[in-house]
Amino acid sequence: MSKELFNPYIEPFTRVDRRASPEDLRQPPGVDTLYPLANNENPLGPSPRVLEAINDAAQSLSYYPEFSDLALREAICGALGRGLAPDSIFTGCSGFETLELIARAFLRPGDEVILSPPTFSGAYKKVAEPLGAKVVEAPLAPETFRYRTDAVLRAVNESTKLIMLCNPNNPTGAVIPADAVDELVRGLPDHALLVVDEVYHHFVETPDFPDSIQYVLAEKNVVIVHSFSKAYGLAGLRLGYGIAKPAIANYIAGLLRGFHQNKLALAAGIAACQDQAHVRRCVDFLRGEVAWLCKQFDRLDIKYWKSSTNFILFETRMPAEDLNQQLLQRGFLVRAQTQNNLPFGIRVSAGARASNQAFISALEAILNATAN
């Protein structure tokens, strides 16, 4: 095929057909139940009001949805408060697409994007590298996974366009404290944008979590990414949004096609925003399950990192891929962290109590079998 056919400025990744959810995974022989603990989903699912809204909206699917997502942005502002107006919000079909929109809006070939691994690197690279941007790494401190603002600021140069800050961080579960983020924002040059990926923000309890919306209200070059996949229990719907000063939010929104959000997503997102009691119930429940899992890790003398999310990173005594395989044979889907350069790390999502209990029993059985 002629090379000229393809866009020289875009270098896509190789297509991957990966099965990820329990419905589409092939069960290993002899396994009756699959336990989806790999994707940090919410086992309680969405609010019943969301399901009602989807059902109502489904009655008119032969008609296009509203041309713009304004009603959804108004509902998001209602949920966020803080005096934010809809022109500070842009919506994406998932948090991932929200990241993609930011990348498309700002990155040119040769621009640099700073990441602090271990983080959600796979996704950040996927949105940046096909556009010809170069990923530069300013890693977290080894072992403690402390965020090193000094290393990030040292990596900043004239080509830096985006700094990706995942807070709390996936896969470590840790919060990057307010003073570190404050120092970063103060050190940010005018030509760079700080992208704060806060899709797990609902789960945070620690008082030193930064108030990133204050930076948006103060018109800083900061864009916050949120998702309906986690605390809202709507991962299957693919809905997310960004928060930024109007000059940035409107610029990114200018990339969006008309009818960009489908009718079901608009109805569901609005209903979800209007039922914050459901979010609080999910958050309380999942915090409890994370605490229960941590107690079990303590009992089994397994090292783990303190988590401000709905998942936990723990250290494995055998290569993580081996443990991953053994867990998979018993129906447990977890995420080995080999690609994050943690060959002895596994990330497990908090599920419902029965799943968590089954997971701990399986883990204990595997550990006992290998110890003997």
Binding site for ligand PLP (CB under 6 A): 40, 94-96, 120, 166, 170, 197, 199, 227, 229, 235, 240
> Nearest 5°: phi and psi at 222?
-130, 135
Distance CA 22, CA 333 (A): 9
Distance CA 172, CA 188 (A): 25
- Tell me the residue number closest to ligand PLP, measured at CB: 95
Shorter beta-carbon distance to ligand PLP: residue 310 or 326: 310
Q: To the nearest whole angstrom, how small is the minimum distance from the Cβ of residue 195 to ligand PLP?
A: 10
For residues 180 and 196, the answer to whether their CB atoms sit within 8 Å is: no
Distance CA 84, CA 263 (A): 24
Q: To the nearest whole angstrom, how small is the minimum distance from the Cβ of residue 238 to ligand PLP?
A: 7
Q: What count of other Cβ atoms lies within 10 Å of the Cβ of residue 265?
A: 23
Shorter beta-carbon distance to ligand PLP: residue 38 or 328: 38
Q: To the nearest whole angstrom, how small is the minimum distance from the Cβ of residue 199 to ligand PLP?
A: 4
**Residue 368 CB contacts under 8 Å (≥ 6 apart), including other chains:** none
Q: What count of other Cβ atoms lies within 10 Å of the Cβ of residue 316?
A: 22
Shorter beta-carbon distance to ligand PLP: residue 75 or 166: 166
Q: Which residues pair with 51 in a beta bridge?
A: none
Q: To the nearest whole angstrom, how small is the minimum distance from the Cβ of residue 45 to ligand PLP?
A: 14
Shorter beta-carbon distance to ligand PLP: residue 220 or 347: 347
Q: To the nearest whole angstrom, how small is the minimum distance from the Cβ of residue 324 to ligand PLP?
A: 18
Helix axes 276-299 and 353-371, enclosed angle (nearest 10): 20
Shorter beta-carbon distance to ligand PLP: residue 199 or 302: 199
